[in-house]
Chain A
Amino acid sequence: MSVADDPLSTADDPLSTGPDLSSSVRRRRLRFVAGQLLFVLATLFVISLVMFFAVNLGQSPRDVARQALGHGASIQALNAYAHAHGLDAPVIVRYGRWLGDFVQGNWGVSAVTGTAVRPSVVPELGRTFALAAITMLIALPISLWLGVMMARRYGRRADLSVNVALVVLSAMPEFVVGIVVLLIFSVWLGLLPPNSTALVFGDLSQKIQSFILPVLTLVLVSIPYLTRVTRVAAREALLAPYARAATLRGVSRRSTTWNHAMRNAAVPIANAVALNFIYLLGGVIVVENLFGFPGAGQALVQAIGNGDVITVEAIGLVMGAAFVLVSVLTDTLVVYFNPRLRAGR
C-alpha cells in the first residue's frame, strides 16, 4: 500500500515531521532559532564584559606586572613587563585580545601560581559539569513524577501538604540544606565522608561516595522549582480537551498522562529546566565549597581569595558560557520539536 492511499497517512497532518513542512513554518522555526542564537550571543557578551572589566578596571598595568614580578621590581622592569604583555594598550583593545586568545584556547598563565591556567582548570571544570549533569539526571525524573502525582490530586490534602513542604525547601539556601544533609549522613549516621576531597586520589568507590552528598544536596534544592512547574503544567494539560478525549477513547490513564498530556506540558517544563541550569551554576559553587568538592566552583572561590585574576576570568567565562548554552539549548530544542510551534501559536 502506497502512502497516498493509506487513510491513516500522516502526509497531510500538520503535526507530522515530513519533508512537506510548509515554508512559512520553516521560516518561523528559523526565526525562532535565530532569535535564541542572538540571545545567547548577547548573554555571553555581557558575561565576558563583566568578567573582563570587573577584573581589570581600576587596576593599572603596573599592578598586574607587580603581581607577576614581585614587589621589589623596578619601575622600568614593571613598564617593560606591561609593554611586553600588551597591558599598556587601551582597555577595549585588551578586551579584544583577551577574548580572541581565550577562544583560541590560550587561557593565559596565572600570575599567582605561575602555571598555565588551562591544564589545571579543565579537570576541575569536568568534575563540575559532571556534578551538574548527574544532579539533573536524578532531579528531573523525580520532579516529573512528583509533579504529575500532585497534579492528579490537585487541591487535595496530599497535594497541598507536599506543596507546602516544597515551598519551605525552596526557601532554604543551598548551604543550609547541605549542612543538614552533612549532619545526618556523615556526622550522625556516619555513612559517608564529610568531604569530597577523595575524588582526586581515591579509588572508584571513594570517588562515587564523594559525589553522593553534593548530588543529594543539589537534587534537593532543584526539586521544588521543577516539581511546582511540572504540577501546574501537568494540571493544565490534564484538563485540556485532548486529554479528556483520550480518556473517553479508552486510552489508559498512564498513556493519557505521559503520551498525550505531558507532551504538551513539555514547553513550560523545559523552560524550568533551562532556568534551573542557571540556578545550578550558583548551587555548584556553594556545594563544592561546602563539601570540599575539587571542582571549578571551589577553584573559583579560591582564585578570588588569592586575587588570581586570570584564573577567575577563565573559570568564570567557561562556567558562565557553558551553563547559559545548555540552558538556552534545552529551551530551543523542546520548543523547536514541539508540534504547537509548527501548527502556529
Chain B
Amino acid sequence: MATHAISTPVRARRRAGVWRSMLQTVEGRVGLCLGLVVIAVVVIGPYVAPHDPNALGTGTALAGPSSAHPLGTDQLGRDVLSRVLSGGRTVLLAPLAATVLAFLIGGMSGMLAAYRGGPLDSGVSRLFDLFIAVPSLLIVLVVITRVGTSWPAIVIVVALVFSPRAGRIVRGATQAVVGNDYVSAARLRGESARWVVARELLPNAAPAIIANFCLYLTYSIIFVATLSFLGLGAQPPSSDWGLMVASSRQFISVNPWATLVPALGIGSMAVSFTLLGDALIRQVSRRIQVGGGEV
C-alpha cells in the first residue's frame, strides 16, 4: 500500500471527508452554527450598533431593557447593546493571534523534535513538560504587570505560555505519522528535512493539529477574557466583553443584562470552538482506528 504514491486529488478528497463527517455529528453542526453567529456578531456588530459604544449618558444610568436600549444601560449610561455589539473583536482576535503564534513556536520545535528523535526529542519533551507544570495564570499575571497591558504584549505572553502545550500536541501528532513508510521513503530519496516536514508530515498530521488548534483557541479565549476580567487585559473605556463583565459586576442586581450578555458572549464563542474541536478530534481518531496508519 504505497501511500506516498496517492495523487493529490485523492488526498484532498480524503481530507474533505474529515470535514464532511464532522458536520454529520450534532456537536459539529451546533458548533459551526454557533461559531458563525458569534463571528457574525463580532464582524458586523460594530457597524449595526445603534449608539456609539463609548457615548456617555445615552439614557438613564443602569436602566433596565427598554425599546431605546434593548439591553438597558450601564453605570455610565452607555448603551449595553451597542457595547456588546462592538466589544467582541478583541475577545476573538487577541486569542486567535496568540494561538497561531503558539502553534508556530511550539509546533516547529515539536515537529522538529519528533522528526529528529533521539536526545533532542527527549530533551525538548522534558522541557515542554516542565513548562506545562508551571501554573500559567499566576505567571502571566505577574509578567503582564511588568511588560504592560498592551495587546501585542498580551498576545506574546499568552503565546509563550501556550507554546509548550501546542508543542507537545504537534510532537505527538507528528510522531503518529513519522514512522510511516512514506516518510522513510522520502528520507531515503534524499529529500531535505524541510521538504519532508512540509510535504509529508504536515499534511498528514494536519487534521489532528487543526482539531487541537480549535481546542486551544478556546483555552486562549478563556485565558485572555480572564485577563481582561481581572483588569490586566483590555483597558477602559474599551467595550471588551471580559472588561464589561468586570466593570458591571458591581451593579449586577440593578441591570443584570450588562453583565450576563457579554459573559454569555464569551461563553458561546468558547463553546463553539470547543464543540468544533471535539467533533474534529473524534473524527480524526476514528479515522486512525479505521484506516490503520493511513491518515
Contacts and interface: CB of A to CB of B under 8 A. Distances in A.
Contacts of B226: 173-175, 282, 286
A179 B252 contact: yes
B246 to A, nearest CB: 8
A304 interface: yes
B142 A179 contact: no
Given A300-B141, A304-B145, A164 B135 contact: no
A300 B144 CA distance: 13
Interface residues of A, number: 48
Contact of B274 (A171, A183, A194): A171
A51 B139 CA distance: 7
B143 A50 contact: yes
Interface stretch (A53-61, A84-92, A118-126): A53-61
Interface in B126-157: 129-131, 133-139, 141-143, 145-146
B232 to A, nearest CB: 7
Interface string A174-187: 11100110110011
Interface string A270-307: 00000000100110011001100000000011001101
B231 A171 contact: no
Nearest to A50: B139
A250 B120 CA distance: 52
A316 B27 contact: no
A112 interface: no
A169 B271 CA distance: 8
B139 A47 contact: yes
A58 B264 CA distance: 39
Contacts of A170: 274
A320 interface: yes
A24 B256 CA distance: 63
A183 B256 contact: yes
A136 to B, nearest CB: 16
Contacts of A327: 133
Given A50-B134, A278-B133, A282-B136, A167 B141 contact: no
Contact of B134 (A194, A300, A301, A320): A320
A93 interface: no
A179 B260 contact: yes
B270 interface: yes
B138 A54 contact: no
B127 to A, nearest CB: 10
B295 interface: no
Contacts of A286: 137, 226, 229-230
B245 interface: yes
Interface in B230-256: 230-232, 242, 245, 249, 252-253, 256
Contact of B232 (A168, A183, A282, A304): A304
Contact of B142 (A164, A304, A324): A304
A172 B271 CA distance: 7
A42 B132 CA distance: 12
B266 A282 contact: no
Given A54-B142, A175-B245, A289-B230, A282 B135 contact: yes
A301 B233 CA distance: 13
B223 to A, nearest CB: 8
Nearest to A52: B142
A285 B131 contact: no
A319 B136 CA distance: 12
Contacts of B222: 171-173
Interface string B145-181: 1100000000000000000000000000000000000
B133 A324 contact: yes
B49 to A, nearest CB: 22
Contacts of A278: 133, 135
B231 A305 contact: yes
A171 B218 contact: yes
B41 interface: no
Contact of A176 (B137, B138, B263): B263
Contacts of A328: 133
Given A173-B222, A285-B230, A46 B275 contact: no
Nearest to A290: B249
B287 to A, nearest CB: 18
A209 interface: no
Contact of A171 (B138, B264, B271): B271
B143 to A, nearest CB: 5
Contact of A182 (B26, B146, B252, B271): B252
Contacts of A211: none
A323 interface: yes
A301 B230 CA distance: 7
A282 B278 contact: no
Interface in A3-60: 39, 42-43, 46-47, 50-51, 54-55, 57-58
A312 B142 contact: yes
Given A173-B267, A179-B245, A305-B231, A194 B253 contact: yes
B75 interface: no
15 contacts: A42-B130, A43-B130, A50-B139, A164-B26, A167-B27, A167-B274, A172-B267, A173-B266, A175-B226, A176-B245, A179-B252, A179-B260, A179-B263, A286-B230, A301-B231
Interface of B: 26-27, 129-131, 133-139, 141-143, 145-146, 218, 221-222, 225-226, 229-232, 242, 245, 249, 252-253, 256, 259-260, 263-264, 266-267, 270-271, 273-275, 278
Given A54-B143, A316-B138, 19 more contacts: A43-B130, A43-B134, A47-B139, A51-B142, A54-B142, A171-B271, A172-B267, A172-B270, A172-B271, A173-B229, A176-B266, A187-B256, A278-B135, A281-B135, A282-B136, A290-B249, A300-B141, A305-B231, A307-B145
